[in-house]
Amino acid sequence: MEDDNYPHQGEIYLIRALKTIGDTKKRPAVVVSINVRNQLSSSVLVVPLTSDLTGGETPTRILIEAGEGGLLTDSLALCDNISAIRQVYLEQGPYGAISPQSRQRIQQGIKIAIAIFENAHVCLSHHPHPKLAINP
């Protein structure tokens, strides 16, 4: 039987924010690293979630609706803020897992954030909602 005692891709946890020394606020985050890495490493890759919907969904801010993955409110996955954290900082959870469709949308948001598509560009003019264009 396989040991299943590790965080899985798509699961939501509360993590210690660690924005400043002494910060104890906990925030939800979704695990985005692959399961093999999560099982073998002491750290995981996470994308933080926010309930502040100001600015709405963008190519790198993906809407996850309340109820999905155990979320109590609509939240945005901040794909341009991916972090590696030690698993010991996954303080509470998992609360549930997001859908495969949401996981794919977050993966797409991460790719956009790190410019992994060579034929893609994000129009960041003065428009409040950036648009993605992929050239064939």
pLDDT in tens, 18-51: 666 666 678 999 999 999 999 999 999 999 999 9
pLDDT, position 1:
37
Task: For the chain, list the domains and their CATH numbers.
Answer: 11-134 (2.30.30.110)
Task: Answer with the residue of higher pLDDT: 46 or 133.
Answer: 46
C-alpha closest to that of 16 among 48, 53, 56: 48
pLDDT value at 7 more than 50? yes
Q: Are 7 and 85 in contact (CB under 8 A)?
A: no
d(CA 34, CA 5) in angstroms, rounded, equals: 14
- Provide the 10 A C-beta neighbour count for residue 109: 25
pLDDT value at 136 more than 70? no
- CB-neighbour burial class of residue 63 (10 A; exposed 0-12, middle 13-18, buried 19+): middle
pLDDT, position 125:
45
pLDDT, position 120:
52
d(CA 134, CA 92) in angstroms, rounded, equals: 38
C-alpha closest to that of 4 among 27, 36, 45: 36
pLDDT, position 4:
83
pLDDT, position 25:
77
Task: Answer with the residue of higher pLDDT: 129 or 22.
Answer: 22
Strand partners, 131: 123
Q: Are 73 and 111 in contact (CB under 8 A)?
A: no
* pLDDT, mean of residues 108-113: 94
pLDDT, position 115:
86
Peptide bond into 7 cis (omega under 30): no
Average pLDDT, whole number, for the chain?
Answer: 86
pLDDT value at 54 more than 80? yes
Percent of the chain with pLDDT over 90: 71
